[in-house]
Structure 1
């Protein structure tokens, strides 16, 4: 027996590449806890790979933060184009890769978890036409960069839609000491590295990055220097996706900077493999949440920036192609049904992930991750996950588990 979407014990979870639906298991608690913070912030920038910004002299402020605090050196976006990455940062799922998507998202998301836990939140979107706006683009505001405008909890509840505010409100809230516990910050298209900073749009990429960096220094440095942030603040600055030509792990190698007075050492470099769902889990864990949307329930909470690494999957970060079974762990004893969650590291797109139980085909999905709830009889079982990329190359991982009665 396999529990599928629609079962009362399961939730729907789309693949990180957004090209199919896989079967999900129960929501779980964090594998470990990060330090507690009173306020967490994220700023999402646009369309530049890791090597384009780290060490770039046009990004002096950004690189000063990376050198003073911490950065993830093995961080990958989930998809191309933008929209799926914004959803991965807030739902743990790509949801869609259609930047023109206009639907309503009912999947579990960070708003649902924050509200359930009694936490406050706001999305500060630059050039948002008005408070509570959930409509389409009004240049230079881009709806596809504001995932909260799609969530049913926000669209159907005036109390929650009131948390969608123009970015001009951010400085006011900072000065008044009234910032929410969770802040999602969206620069507009002219200030996030996507477009030229002026009209008509004629500029170089260096012009875009210098403007982006200046925007950060003008608008975010006052937060970093504030007594509120220095007491209990956590800030993530991350790029949504790399260049279009870089499809490694879905969306390419990107920069993610972790800023906090609680970083364990000056200029720390986290070398574990991360994607956007790990930032989602980090921010949720930092606020003391115990349930995490989508596949963020099964990934690292990035605690290595503050203490011991909590990466639950032994993926070789320097591998060109590898697959790891994150859950269940090898040699574990557990009752049925059990969650099987596996991820890949791949330089080429993954074409197929297959699960075998005791040598027999049990489940397959067209992209990473593999996420399924299996009901197995009592006894010892061998689980093997095999990944095949678009060139036909394969990689596999195997664990042994003992299933006992509840």
Structure 2
């Protein structure tokens, strides 16, 4: 799954020359620092201008920019949620079901096509093959590996897609949890329960010095900025996302700073009117074109903060960067 357009330039050009770097793990492929931990955090449905621009309401998030490296020309690969999440963890292009968030079908039907593309191989398989630890931390997930009924006869649509009135997962969205869309995870309950975890587990993992080498974080559909207003009536969008980030990122960032880690923050797609794209992606989504410009912030003590890189990248580039790190 080595794909063109890695964010290697962003990492290689921004490597810190501080004494801390000399003590860090050796560089990986293409000059990318060998980070001890890589964490990806995905927000929802906001353009780069709205999220990172001077008028952004995400004040906490933007306060982190001087500490990191900002990829201003980073693009989503499609215009639904699921196709972008699948691209981030497998490199698979969109197909008609994922490009429509699988809204007309049940979870079982949605999962099947992934096994036909690259034999269903994904980032989790690559990591485990090399003995590298990983977890997906899903905000709002009521229990490990929770998901909609995975059965050919389950009635569509998937009832757990955020802002659901069906307990126990009111704001958790299956389509923001890419790992369950691969048969070798969702059909292996022990594997799924070990790796697809409630976000609340992260605090205890940090406290126990047990954060895995790779983590994928998805806030729930209120906390990721998707819903506005949120299901409880409170202000949503970037306001709720920024509040959640301000409450949950400081301890994670402190941990990554102490352990030569890397945090990558981006959005799954831009707003519906933004059809821009680069590098890869496709026109099969709910809207024509690509997924729009969303931007990406890389935070690590091994990078020189306060820099902006204008080279074009997208979610496929993100995957390769993770593979090479």
Whether the 8 Å contact between 1:91 and 1:108 is mirrored in structure 2 is yes
Correspondence 1:5-404 to 2 at 5 A = 32-54=30-52, 55-95=54-94, 96-100=98-102, 102=107, 103-104=110-111, 105-106=114-115, 107-135=120-148, 136=158, 137=160, 138-162=169-193, 163-196=195-228, 198-201=230-233, 203=235, 207-226=236-255, 228-249=256-277, 250-263=290-303, 265-286=304-325
User: 2:310 & 2:130 partners in 1: Cα distance?
Assistant: 32
Gapped regions of structure 2 (runs ≥ 5): 4-27, 149-157, 161-168, 278-289
User: 2:228 & 2:314 partners in 1: Cα distance?
Assistant: 27
How does the TM-score come out when normalised to structure 1?
Answer: 0.59
In the alignment of these two chains, the number of paired residues is 254
Gapped regions of structure 1 (runs ≥ 5): 1-10, 14-29, 287-406
Whether the 8 Å contact between 2:44 and 2:268 is mirrored in structure 1 is yes
The 3 A distance-change label for structure 1 pair 233 and 197 is farther
Higher helix share: 2
User: 2:269 & 2:88 partners in 1: Cα distance?
Assistant: 12
Higher strand share: 1
User: 1:159 & 1:114 partners in 2: Cα distance?
Assistant: 17
Whether the 8 Å contact between 1:111 and 1:153 is mirrored in structure 2 is no
Q: Deviations over 1:293-323 (max 9, x none)?
A: xxxxxxxxxxxxxxxxxxxxxxxxxxxxxxx
Q: Deviations over 1:84-106 (max 9, x none)?
A: 11011101123420212632232
Any idea what SS the aligned residue of 2:240 has?
A: helix
- Higher normalized contact order (CA 8 Å, seq sep 6+, divided by chain length): 2
CA shift for structure 1 position 127: 1.0
The 3 A distance-change label for structure 1 pair 31 and 232 is closer
How does the TM-score come out when normalised to structure 2?
Answer: 0.73
Pair member with larger Rg: 1
Whether the 8 Å contact between 2:49 and 2:56 is mirrored in structure 1 is no
Whether the 8 Å contact between 2:134 and 2:215 is mirrored in structure 1 is yes
The 3 A distance-change label for structure 1 pair 233 and 189 is same
The 3 A distance-change label for structure 1 pair 200 and 122 is closer
CA shift for structure 1 position 156: 2.4
Whether the 8 Å contact between 1:39 and 1:182 is mirrored in structure 2 is yes
CA shift for structure 1 position 57: 4.7
User: 1:177 & 1:35 partners in 2: Cα distance?
Assistant: 21
User: 1:195 & 1:267 partners in 2: Cα distance?
Assistant: 31
Q: Deviations over 1:32-62 (max 9, x none)?
A: 2411111110110000001111133521221
Whether the 8 Å contact between 2:37 and 2:259 is mirrored in structure 1 is no
Q: Deviations over 1:345-372 (max 9, x none)?
A: xxxxxxxxxxxxxxxxxxxxxxxxxxxx
Whether the 8 Å contact between 1:49 and 1:252 is mirrored in structure 2 is yes
Whether the 8 Å contact between 1:134 and 1:150 is mirrored in structure 2 is no
